[in-house]
Copies of this chain bind each other. A is one copy, B any other.
Amino acid sequence: MPNTVQQSPASCQLILMPSGRKGQVAIGTNLLDAARELGVELESICGGRQTCGKCQVIVEEGHFPKHGITSRSTHITEPSKLEREYDQEQPLNGRRLACAAQVLDDVLITVPDESQAHKQVIAKAATERTIEVNPAVRQLYVEIEPAVLGDPRGDWERLVQALQDQWQLSELVIDPKTLLSLQSILRAGEFAVTVSIWQDKEVLRLQPGYQEGLYGLAIDVGSTTVVAHLCDLRTGAVIATQSAMNPQVRFGEDLMSRISYINSEPQGLARMNRLIIKTLNDLAEKAAKDGKISPQDITDVVLVGNTVMHHILLGIDPAQLGVAPFALATYSALDLKARDLGLNLNNACRVHTLPLIAGHVGADNVGVMLAESPADHEGISLIVDVGTNAEIILGDPTQVLVASSPTGPAFEGAQITHGQRAAPGAIDRVRIDPQTLEPRIKVIGHPDWIEPQNDKDSLPQVKATGICGSGIIEAIAELFLAGIINSGGHFLPSTAERSARIQFDGPTASYILVNAELTATGVPILVTQNDVRAIQLAKAALYAGTKLLMDQRGVKAVDRVILAGAFGTFINPFHAMVLGLIPDCDLDHVVAIGNAAGDGARLALLNKNLRQKAVRLARSATYVETPLETTFQDEFVAALNIPHTTHSFPHLAGRLPEFPEESSRKRRSRLRTMQESNK
């Protein structure tokens, strides 16, 4: 030991960067314990045994006038034998193992990101922000007393004692399936074992000796698409993402059709449940393969989904969700076992489902709230999660309202003449030249904009097959902006004289987006009068729901709009507003964030405290039942026009076409007829 020992005071100053925490610590304390005393938790799996290398720190050299100390590497004990051995195998490059290094004198330490116990990851959301990685499952290395004659305790009781002594855990239980392998694993590891523990309560997994690797799945079960993110629960990184179509689609695109199928088929529920569980198992297997791990390595899952998907997934008959009063079996967050659901992950793997809000507002919506909580932002936020049902969240730090609006599947490309899912071959972006009335399009799987009239050679290669949700929204907004359809959604006969793309066939008009000879199918891809009407109905339902919440909240405008949903990222905010999908707002404050429900699931997977927050958000949100509100029908009718009959859109000023004034009596009569014919 260096000479400084004798000259040092009984305690010295320790400063930890980048947190800036500082304080007096007793000389001889190791840096792992000393940092903990100052409130900085370092990563450690081996529990201070100088073997896992997770607690590496940098000892800074020099005088730090701001802190008033001089820090030297000699102010720390020299590397121990174990530390030197570790360095030979995995070079420390001058860093020190905090558990090995003892403080001798004033010192300033930098804790690298990767050594922080609760790592920060950046949440991919409307506003980038960091979250702390603090998963529900953690992995601990522990050495237990070997069994000896005269000690009647079982191996489990010895392990419990070791976890109490070495990690201060108490009142532990063990999953009965995990208990089965306890004795053989303890002996394979010579009574050293790596334990995966859920919520500091239940032992899920045992691995012989020292092991690393802790994984979880965040899954969003949508009506149409199922997405699974495989995450490293130690670093917070997404290791693999896999998605698949929800195989229940064959029984109906929308939720009501699926409920009807279950109501009419005796084995309907079991069949639907089997299909979705098989899909989750396939996704997990593929994601595990991508991440070069085994599904057995996955010990935690967070699931979100709308109310019907949630119930079917758990094996609960969704019949009650199909009829008023739309009673849920439960709206609570649930902690389950993956094996009880039929998931082929680790034997003892946990499943957490986020809470639900009401009969039509599910765990997916709570996931959205977790990713984009209006309660965490000043001003009024509007979040619209567009799917077969649109969920609408409106609020600020004082109050959050939620509603669900039955938009139908038009936004997802269903009920549209050439509609299709967002997959290669789908037209997802559209522009129409107001002068020539000629289109430009983008097709999924092809990087460039295409002008069908000029790119006759390249278009057949991209094999356009139809239009997806974002494509139809842009197409109809562009038809309106180009003056081809009017505010009421009607094709104007005068435009047919200007371009052969506009066709009138009796009462049915259409716009030829891509000519027959240029599509993959050999038929032209059209946007028809019926398509316009379907989108008008869907967007009116969405707008009416939004308006209802704004009225309840007593606001005339919103400060920011967040568009979520599987195709949310592809919606152009300008086109969404032109169409009247969303109320007027500064376009710079309209953001499309994609699958926020899945992001919410990932957040709850990475941080157990966010699961409690999800429950608080769900329970504190005020649910507004749209059919209960008498103003809903009036708002719906007023919202059928493009962008809206009675609301103005100052932020679109100068960007909308002008049409001859329609008498208000005539307009009302037309809109009523339109609504009636679609009932």
Partner of A325, one of B148, B325, B332, B623: B148
Q: Contact between A625 and B150 (Cβ–Cβ < 8 Å)?
A: yes
List B contacts of A331 (CB < 8 A).
152-154, 157
A34 at the interface (CB under 8 A from B): no
Q: Interface on chain A toward B: helix, strand, loop, or mixed SS?
A: loop
- CB<8 Å pairs between A and B, sample of 15: A148-B325, A149-B325, A149-B627, A150-B325, A152-B328, A154-B327, A154-B330, A154-B331, A157-B331, A157-B332, A179-B316, A182-B330, A183-B316, A183-B329, A184-B317
Q: Contact between B184 and A154 (Cβ–Cβ < 8 Å)?
A: no
**Do A329 and B156 contact each other (CB < 8 Å), given the known contacts A176-B314, A180-B315, A340-B176?**
yes
Partner of A152, one of B152, B315, B324, B623: B623
Bound form: Cα–Cα A539–B149 in Å: 25
A60 at the interface (CB under 8 A from B): no
Which single residue of chain B is at the shortest CB-CB distance from A148? B325
Q: Contact between A183 and B320 (Cβ–Cβ < 8 Å)?
A: yes
A188 at the interface (CB under 8 A from B): no
Q: Contact between B147 and A327 (Cβ–Cβ < 8 Å)?
A: yes
A128 at the interface (CB under 8 A from B): no
Bound form: Cα–Cα A34–B154 in Å: 49
Which single residue of chain B is at the shortest CB-CB distance from A320? B183
Which single residue of chain B is at the shortest CB-CB distance from A359? B152
Residue-wise, chain A 584-613 has the 8 Å CB interface mask toward B (1 for contact) of 000000000000000000000000000000
Bound form: Cα–Cα A332–B183 in Å: 15
List B contacts of A155 (CB < 8 A).
320, 327-330
List B contacts of A358 (CB < 8 A).
152
- Given A149-B625, A153-B328, 7 other A-B contacts at CB below 8 A? A150-B628, A152-B359, A154-B356, A155-B320, A179-B316, A179-B329, A183-B316
Which single residue of chain B is at the shortest CB-CB distance from A327? B147
A516 at the interface (CB under 8 A from B): no
Q: Chain B nearest CB: distance from A193 CB in Å?
A: 14
Scoring A179, A319, A330, A336 by chain B CB atoms within 10 A of each residue's CB, the highest score goes to A330
Q: Contact between A183 and B325 (Cβ–Cβ < 8 Å)?
A: no
Q: Chain B nearest CB: distance from A643 CB in Å?
A: 31
Which single residue of chain B is at the shortest CB-CB distance from A357? B152
A457 at the interface (CB under 8 A from B): no
A151 at the interface (CB under 8 A from B): yes
A122 at the interface (CB under 8 A from B): no
List B contacts of A239 (CB < 8 A).
none
Partner of A154, one of B149, B152, B332: B332
List B contacts of A336 (CB < 8 A).
176
